[in-house]
């Protein structure tokens, strides 16, 4: 993915298997969000494709969602002047099909579908713990609840893969822990989760696998131990070899501490093509493979 | 530290009750005197309406009679009564407590100001128009003084005043944050209230339409504005909208009953003509509200769809000047044809343009709107195909007739005479009912929610699986079809169709700027808003002759004032009524469009 002269994401091959939580980390500006935008069709990748369950997805956001990939946004994008319930109902869009005519005629089918949508939406609000706020405007929710609502809205499209862009940004430790529980609960429903985070403790606790993105390229991918042990990750966060890549303090501390403990792990040398290191026995029937490739400048 | 916070608490408490020693009036008078001034002044104001204010009936409305109010004096009379009633309620008179549930001063103050403004407007109008204060009879002087007294009383009412005069004045007209929880009302009482309010509303509205001269209309607007403001600060409007929310369909039915009743209250078909025009433009504005208010698409060429409907109806009306003069469709068929033709145009224009966002869309629709008018102007057989007769348009469109009931003739029904315009008015009520039904049903459904989602945040909406283009095209086409439907009636009402009215901005109503202003002024995303907005914007230049060639300027000023003081429009929509959940939280992130900007907001940092 290129923006003018800037190659934001280059040759990132990535596989997420069902029932898996995968973390995506990297310093600010590494291209994580851009990667998500490519996956969900908000950006059309300059080169490369996104495939989900074996079929290549067209770079159209609504088709991607329909296929089963839902997402949240780093800078919350709720429908601010809609109520909490309505936000989730909008999320149901792809799983319902009542058009204008049935809305005007209001037949029994329409009423049934509306009722079913509402029930499902309430279920989801219950799930994230916002049921009591159903009639509040989204913009009046506190920050943490807005993030939860975004997750509920994304879940409303019954996704097979959920993309979370910094779900704990701006949260206090308690809220972060609650979010952790929430992500586990989502995973337990059989939904694969790919999440971007800067909170290292959170990521390493949660993820079965972690991938590190630095300057648009995938540096390492593997289990928490492998990634924490990788010296290049530390370097990327501390900013030694890559100038101008501001490392997040906490991340650096954690990575440093971990690195100091562990021996130098078997670092991966190939950046462009990374086989996934997760247990290969994960059911492959539901998987999303993506590769966005760009040429070097 | 703890002490400080506690004192702060007590001060906030005192502001809430407004009865603490720190509360004082802007004018240093005891509370009892202030109230006495209000009551006496209110009654005196009303009484002064019975006197002669001027010696000559050159001033319209004949204010020369002692013993009976006339014209503008009626307004003064009503304002005085209102002031007295609110004051009595603040005294705690039994049976009037419901007028002031929060016991605040603002309603009394505003009623007093309303009386003052209407009366002084009348007195000044007399002085200016007749050329000097000598034209005032003693009654006029008395009215001026009498209406000033309640204002003085009002300013002596105790409020927790500070040092800043502007803030202090604001406190006098502020609506309290909290009202005592309203008592539960029995359903039949709620319906009775709705019925009474509808009747009063019809009476007030009819009075406004029937005002015979500009001075009366201005006075009327002043009084209505202050009265509604007073009722608003008294919490009355909130209570009423809550009651309406419980009885939606009943309110709708009452509204239509009132709309149908209107022509029966009129003796002069001229006012029915105003009524039918308001309905046509209101209906079209409501259609535009789907596009602008719900889907958030700024359409600056909307009037073209009204034109398409009108021209289609004219072409198949059987008019001898029509290109297809042999063809005469029955009304239902021509209405459907008109709507269908508009719909097709909507899709044709929408398909290439709706891929654009924001300002681009506005510019392109503006262009298409003008193209329609210019094209129609040129399709006269000389510079284009011979379809629309060019600038001459299609005149002598025959009147409609249903089952032998000719809408062009007067009919006597149950002792009431319904003229031509009254007939068309009733037909338009039917059309409006259809449009209202379409609007409300579409808005409250999956498709309506996706329109609102697109309006709120298009990127997020598409990421939720909404096919933005398709959904926007549906909104655009539906809006076009509804405008076309209204256009078919308007062709018959005006006897002829010509290209000129279908422009972007002009001094006579059906133009895109007018329709858009009606939607914004009335309240985007509501049903009543565009209707009210269209009524106001149509009536203002109609009633105020001096505005007729400056109506665009007036729109401009009205809209600027509106954006400054009430950006949500006169009628706030349901979402804004959820304000009581407001937390005043400021750190809700701004909604930047993802595709336009790099994601520089670091929420975590
Ligand atoms: N639409 C765009 N146009 C131009 N440049 C862009 C655009 N979107 C992103 N970029 C650039 O691409 C790079 C990667 O940005 P991205 O938002 O993906 O980073 P990130 O890894 O999500 O960072 P953070 O952790 O701060 O969220 C940045 O340099 C950014 O400025
Ligand atoms: Mg990001």
pLDDT tens readout for residues A74-119: 999 999 889 999 999 999 999 988 888 888 888 888 999 999 999 9
Whether B449 sits inside 8 A of A99 (CB atoms) is no
Which of B343, B452, B464 would best serve as a mutation to test chain A binding (most A beta carbons within 10 A)? B464
On whether any CB of chain A is under 8 Å from the CB of B442, the answer is yes
- Give me ligand 1 centre to Cα B457, in Å: 20
Q: Point out the ligand nearest to the CA of residue A32.
A: 1
Q: Which two tokens stand for residue A139?
A: 């913009």
Q: Which two tokens stand for residue A123?
A: 């279920």
Place of tokens 């001229």: B270
Is the per-residue pLDDT at A69 higher than 60?
A: yes
Query: Exposed (0-12), middle (13-18) or buried (19+): which is B517, by Cβ within 10 Å?
Result: buried
Question: What is the distance between the alpha carbons of residues A146 and A149, in angstroms, rounded to a whole number?
Answer: 5
Question: In chain A, what residues touch B456 (CB-CB under 8 Å)?
Answer: 79-82
Question: In chain B, what residues touch A92 (CB-CB under 8 Å)?
Answer: 446
pLDDT number for residue B170: 84
Closest Cα in chain B to A155? B464
- Give me ligand 2 centre to Cα A239, in Å: 18
- Whether A248 lines ligand 1, by a CB cut-off of 6 Å, is no
Question: In chain A, what residues touch B602 (CB-CB under 8 Å)?
Answer: 28
- Whether A184 lines ligand 1, by a CB cut-off of 6 Å, is no
Of A283-297, B24-38, B574-588, the range with the lowest mean pLDDT is A283-297
Whether A66 sits inside 8 A of B595 (CB atoms) is no
Question: In chain B, what residues touch A149 (CB-CB under 8 Å)?
Answer: none
Once rounded to an integer, what is the mean pLDDT over residues B65-73? 82
- Whether A143 lines ligand 1, by a CB cut-off of 6 Å, is no
A·B CB contacts under 8 A: 154
Whether A42 sits inside 8 A of B463 (CB atoms) is yes
Which of B245, B357, B434, B446 would best serve as a mutation to test chain A binding (most A beta carbons within 10 A)? B446
Contact in structure between A232 and A58 (CB atoms under 8 Å): no
Question: Could you identify the atom of ligand 1 that is nearest to the CA of residue B594?
Answer: 1
B184-B188-B191-B196 Cα dihedral, nearest 10 degrees:
-100
Which of A42, A60, A139 would best serve as a mutation to test chain B binding (most B beta carbons within 10 A)? A139
From B599, B601, B602, B603, the mutation candidate for ligand 1 (largest count of ligand atoms within 8 A of CB) is: B599
The minimal CB distance from B575 to the residues A28, A100, A137 is found for: A137
Position B565 confidence tier, pLDDT thresholds 50, 70, 90: confident
Position A267 confidence tier, pLDDT thresholds 50, 70, 90: very low
Question: What is the distance between the alpha carbons of residues A105 and A92, in angstroms, rounded to a whole number?
Answer: 21
pLDDT number for residue A261: 45
- Whether B604 lines ligand 1, by a CB cut-off of 6 Å, is no
Once rounded to an integer, what is the mean pLDDT over residues A11-18? 81
The minimal CB distance from B457 to the residues A79, A89, A248 is found for: A79
Question: What is the distance between the alpha carbons of residues B320 and B395, in angstroms, rounded to a whole number?
Answer: 8
Residue B265, classed as helix, strand or coil, is helix
Closest Cα in chain B to A91? B464
Question: Could you identify the atom of ligand 1 that is nearest to the CA of residue A31?
Answer: 18
On whether any CB of chain A is under 8 Å from the CB of B597, the answer is no
Question: What is the distance between the alpha carbons of residues A237 and A251, in angstroms, rounded to a whole number?
Answer: 7
- Whether A169 lines ligand 1, by a CB cut-off of 6 Å, is no
Closest Cα in chain A to B593? A77
Hey, CA dihedral for A3, A59, A218, A261, is it positive or negative? positive
- Whether B183 lines ligand 1, by a CB cut-off of 6 Å, is no
Contact in structure between A41 and A213 (CB atoms under 8 Å): no
If we measure between CA atoms, which residue out of A33, A40, A32, A73 comes closest to residue A59?
A40
Q: How far is CA B333 from CA A271, B147, B312, B336, B340, in A?
A: 69, 58, 11, 5, 10
* Beta-ladder partners of B304: none
Is the per-residue pLDDT at A259 higher than 60?
A: no
Phi, psi of A192 (to 5 degrees): -75, 140
Q: How far is CA A54 from CA A24, A285, B243, B346, B515, in A?
A: 22, 8, 55, 40, 51
Whether B592 sits inside 8 A of A75 (CB atoms) is yes
Q: How far is CA A164 from CA A21, A28, B269, B333, B532, in A?
A: 11, 16, 65, 54, 45
- Give me ligand 1 centre to Cα B205, in Å: 57
Position B289 confidence tier, pLDDT thresholds 50, 70, 90: very high
Whether B464 sits inside 8 A of A28 (CB atoms) is no
Q: DSSP letter string over B81-108? A: HHHHHHHHHHHT-TT-GGG-TT--SHHH
Which of A73, A202, A203, A251 would best serve as a mutation to test chain B binding (most B beta carbons within 10 A)? A73
Is the per-residue pLDDT at B570 higher than 90?
A: no
pLDDT digits (tens, 9 = 90+) for B165-196: 888 888 888 888 777 777 778 889 999 999 99
pLDDT digits (tens, 9 = 90+) for A133-184: 988 889 888 888 999 999 999 999 999 999 999 998 888 888 899 999 999 9
Is the per-residue pLDDT at B318 higher than 60?
A: yes
C-alpha distance from B187 to closest chain A C-alpha (Å)? 23
Q: Of all residues in chain B, what percent carry a pLDDT higher than 70?
A: 91
Is the per-residue pLDDT at A239 higher than 70?
A: no
Q: How far is CA B363 from CA B353, B357, B477, in A?
A: 10, 10, 18
Q: Is B108 left (phi over 0), alpha (psi -120 to 50) or beta?
A: alpha
pLDDT number for residue A293: 39
Q: Point out the ligand nearest to the CA of residue A31.
A: 1
Whether A43 sits inside 8 A of B595 (CB atoms) is yes
Contact in structure between B451 and B295 (CB atoms under 8 Å): yes
Hey, CA dihedral for B118, B121, B122, B123, is it positive or negative? positive
Question: What is the distance between the alpha carbons of residues A254 and A202, in angstroms, rounded to a whole number?
Answer: 11
Whether A104 sits inside 8 A of B601 (CB atoms) is no
Position A237 confidence tier, pLDDT thresholds 50, 70, 90: confident
- Give me ligand 2 centre to Cα A163, in Å: 12
- Whether A247 lines ligand 1, by a CB cut-off of 6 Å, is no
Q: How far is CA B101 from CA B23, B110, B113, B246, in A?
A: 20, 16, 20, 20
Residue B549 has a CB neighbour count (10 Å cut-off) of 10
What are the start-end ranges of the H helices in B444-527? 446-456, 458-463, 468-493, 512-522
User: Which residues have a Cβ under 8 Å from the Cβ of B30 and sit 6 or more positions away?
Assistant: none
Place of tokens 């700027």: B513
Question: What is the distance between the alpha carbons of residues B39 and B82, in angstroms, rounded to a whole number?
Answer: 10
- Whether A8 lines ligand 1, by a CB cut-off of 6 Å, is yes
Contact in structure between B216 and B118 (CB atoms under 8 Å): no
pLDDT number for residue B605: 30
The minimal CB distance from B588 to the residues A82, A83, A139 is found for: A139
Question: What is the distance between the alpha carbons of residues B405 and B423, in angstroms, rounded to a whole number?
Answer: 10
Question: What is the distance between the alpha carbons of residues B92 and B375, in angstroms, rounded to a whole number?
Answer: 67
Q: Point out the ligand nearest to the CA of residue A8.
A: 1
Average pLDDT, chain A: 79
Question: What is the distance between the alpha carbons of residues B218 and B542, in angstroms, rounded to a whole number?
Answer: 12
User: Which residues have a Cβ under 8 Å from the Cβ of A213 and sit 6 or more positions away?
Assistant: A9, A12, A24, A25, A26, A30, A31, A32, A35, A219
Question: Could you identify the atom of ligand 1 that is nearest to the CA of residue A27?
Answer: 25
- Whether A30 lines ligand 1, by a CB cut-off of 6 Å, is yes
From B598, B602, B604, B605, the mutation candidate for ligand 1 (largest count of ligand atoms within 8 A of CB) is: B598
Position A18 confidence tier, pLDDT thresholds 50, 70, 90: confident
Protein residue whose Cα sits closest to atom 24 of ligand 1: A28
- Whether A34 lines ligand 1, by a CB cut-off of 6 Å, is yes
Pairing of strands A192-196, A161-165: parallel
Whether A86 sits inside 8 A of B449 (CB atoms) is yes
Hey, CA dihedral for A76, A82, A84, A86, is it positive or negative? negative
pLDDT number for residue A62: 92
Position A276 confidence tier, pLDDT thresholds 50, 70, 90: very low
Question: What is the distance between the alpha carbons of residues A100 and B461, in angstroms, rounded to a whole number?
Answer: 18
Question: Could you identify the atom of ligand 1 that is nearest to the CA of residue B595?
Answer: 1
Question: What is the distance between the alpha carbons of residues A68 and A45, in angstroms, rounded to a whole number?
Answer: 19
Question: What is the distance between the alpha carbons of residues B465 and B463, in angstroms, rounded to a whole number?
Answer: 5
Whether B583 sits inside 8 A of A140 (CB atoms) is yes
Question: What is the distance between the alpha carbons of residues A91 and A78, in angstroms, rounded to a whole number?
Answer: 11
Protein residue whose Cα sits closest to atom 1 of ligand 1: B598
Q: Which position has the higher pLDDT, A55 or B577?
A: A55
The minimal CB distance from A65 to the residues B463, B587, B605 is found for: B463
Q: CB-hemisphere CA count at 13 Å for B114?
A: 32
Of A201-215, B15-29, B492-506, the range with the lowest mean pLDDT is B15-29
pLDDT number for residue B575: 59
Place of tokens 């080169």: A47
Whether B456 sits inside 8 A of A79 (CB atoms) is yes
């Amino acid at each position: 993915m290129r923006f003018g002269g800037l190659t934001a994401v280059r040759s990132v091959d990535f596989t997420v298997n069902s029932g898996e939580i995968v973390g995506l980390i990297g310093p600010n500006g590494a291209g994580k969000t851009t990667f998500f935008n490519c996956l969900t069709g908000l950006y059309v990748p300059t080169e490369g494709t996104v495939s989900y369950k074996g079929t290549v997805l067209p770079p159209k956001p609504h088709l991607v969602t329909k296929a089963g990939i839902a997402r949240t946004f780093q800078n919350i994008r709720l429908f601010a002047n809609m109520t909490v319930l309505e936000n989730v109902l909008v999320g149901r869009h792809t799983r319902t099909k009542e058009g204008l005519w049935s809305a005007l005629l209001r037949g029994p089918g329409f009423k049934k579908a509306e009722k079913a949508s509402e029930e499902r939406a309430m279920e989801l609000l219950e799930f994230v713990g916002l049921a009591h706020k159903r009639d509040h405007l989204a913009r009046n929710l506190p920050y943490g609840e807005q993030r939860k609502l975004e997750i509920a809205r994304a879940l409303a499209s019954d996704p097979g893969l959920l993309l979370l862009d910094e779900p704990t940004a701006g949260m206090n430790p308690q809220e972060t822990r609650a979010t952790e529980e929430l992500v586990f609960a989502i995973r337990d429903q059989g939904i694969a989760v790919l999440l971007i985070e800067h909170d290292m403790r959170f990521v390493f606790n949660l993820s079965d696998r972690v991938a590190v993105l630095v300057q648009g390229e995938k540096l390492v991918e593997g289990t928490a131990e492998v990634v924490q042990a990788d010296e290049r990750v530390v370097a990327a966060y501390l900013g030694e070899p890559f100038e101008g890549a501001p490392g997040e303090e906490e991340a650096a501390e954690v990575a440093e501490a971990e690195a100091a403990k562990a021996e130098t792990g078997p670092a991966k040398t190939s950046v462009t093509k990374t086989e996934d290191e997760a247990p290969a026995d994960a059911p492959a029937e539901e998987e999303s493979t993506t590769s966005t490739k760009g040429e070097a400048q | 530290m703890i002490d400080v916070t506690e004192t702060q608490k007590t001060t906030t408490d005192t502001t809430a009750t407004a009865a603490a020693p720190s509360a004082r009036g802007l004018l240093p008078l005891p509370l009892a005197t202030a109230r006495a001034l209000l009551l006496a002044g209110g009654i005196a104001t009303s009484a002064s309406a019975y006197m002669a204010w001027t010696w000559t009936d050159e001033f319209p409305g004949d204010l020369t009679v002692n013993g009976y109010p006339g014209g503008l004096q009626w307004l003064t009379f009503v304002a005085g009564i209102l002031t007295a009633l609110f004051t009595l309620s603040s005294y705690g008179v039994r049976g009037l407590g419901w007028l002031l549930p929060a016991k605040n001063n603002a309603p009394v103050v505003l009623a007093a100001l309303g009386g003052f403004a209407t009366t002084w407007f009348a007195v000044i109008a007399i002085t200016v128009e007749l050329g000097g204060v000598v034209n005032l009879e003693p009654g006029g002087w008395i009215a001026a003084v009498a209406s000033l007294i309640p204002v003085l009383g009002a300013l002596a009412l105790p409020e927790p005043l500070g040092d800043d005069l502007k803030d202090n004045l604001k406190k006098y007209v502020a609506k309290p944050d909290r009202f005592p929880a309203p008592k539960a009302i029995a359903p039949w009482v709620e319906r009775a209230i709705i019925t009474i309010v509808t009747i009063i509303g019809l009476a007030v509205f009819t009075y406004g339409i029937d005002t015979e001269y500009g001075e009366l209309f201005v006075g009327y607007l002043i009084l209505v504005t202050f009265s509604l403001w007073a009722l608003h600060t008294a919490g009355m409007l909130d209570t009423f909208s809550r009651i309406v929310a419980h009885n939606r369909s009943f309110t709708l039915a009452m509204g239509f009953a009132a709309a149908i009743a209107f022509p029966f209250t009129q003796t002069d078909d001229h006012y029915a003509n105003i009524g039918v025009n308001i309905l046509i433009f209101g209906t079209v504005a409501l259609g535009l509200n789907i596009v602008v208010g719900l889907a958030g698409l700024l359409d600056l060429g909307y009037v073209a769809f009204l034109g398409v409907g009108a021209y289609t109806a004219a072409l198949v009306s059987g008019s001898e000047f029509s290109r297809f003069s042999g063809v005469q469709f029955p009304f239902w068929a021509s209405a459907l044809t008109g709507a269908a033709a508009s719909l097709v145009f909507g899709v044709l224009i929408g398909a290439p343009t709706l891929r654009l966002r924001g300002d681009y869309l506005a510019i392109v629709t503006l262009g298409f709107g003008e193209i329609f008018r210019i094209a129609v102007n040129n399709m006269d057989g000389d510079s284009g195909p011979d379809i629309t007769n060019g600038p001459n348009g299609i005149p002598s469109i025959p009147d409609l007739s249903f089952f032998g009931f000719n809408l062009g003739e007067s009919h006597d029904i149950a002792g009431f005479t319904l003229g031509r315009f009254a007939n068309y008015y009733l037909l338009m009520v039917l059309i409006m009912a259809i449009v209202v039904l379409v609007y409300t049903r579409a808005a409250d459904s999956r498709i309506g929610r996706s329109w609102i989602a697109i309006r709120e945040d298009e990127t997020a909406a598409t990421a939720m699986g909404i096919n933005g283009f398709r959904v926007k095209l549906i909104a655009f086409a539906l809006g076009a079809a509804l405008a076309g439907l209204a256009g078919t009636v308007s062709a018959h009402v005006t006897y002829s169709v010509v290209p000129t009215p279908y422009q972007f901005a002009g001094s006579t109503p059906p133009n895109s700027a007018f329709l858009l202003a009606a939607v914004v002024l009335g309240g985007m995303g509501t049903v009543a808003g565009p209707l009210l907005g269209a009524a106001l914007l149509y009536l203002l230049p109609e009633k105020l002759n001096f505005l007729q060639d400056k109506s665009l300027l007036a729109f401009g000023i009205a809209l600027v004032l509106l954006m400054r003081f009430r950006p949500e429009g006169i009628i706030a929509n349901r979402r804004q009524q959820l304000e009581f959940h407001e937390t005043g939280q400021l750190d809700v992130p701004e909604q930047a469009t993802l595709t336009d900007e790099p994601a520089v907001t670091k929420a975590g940092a």
